[in-house]
Amino acid sequence: MVQTAPPQTATGNRLVPPSGSGPQGSQPQSTPSQITVELLMAILSEIDLVASRLSVASLSMLPAEHELHQYIRKLLALLVAEQQQQQQAGSAQPESATLLVAKQVFLPLFAAIELPLRFELHLYLLEGVQTVCTRLRKELTSWLLYLDDEVRERERERERERDSTLFTHLLANT
Query: pLDDT by residue (tens digit) across 32-74?
Result: 777 888 999 999 999 999 999 999 989 999 999 999 999 999 9
Annotated domain spans of the chain? 9-134, 138-174
Measuring CA to CA, how many Å separate 100 from each of 36, 133, 137, 171, 174? 11, 11, 14, 47, 52
Is the Cβ–Cβ distance between 128 and 9 less than 8 Å?
Answer: yes
Cα separation, 46 vs 44, in Å, equals 5
The whole-number pLDDT of residue 59 equals 92
Cα separation, 118 vs 109, in Å, equals 8
pLDDT band at 165 (very low <50, low <70, confident <90, very high): confident
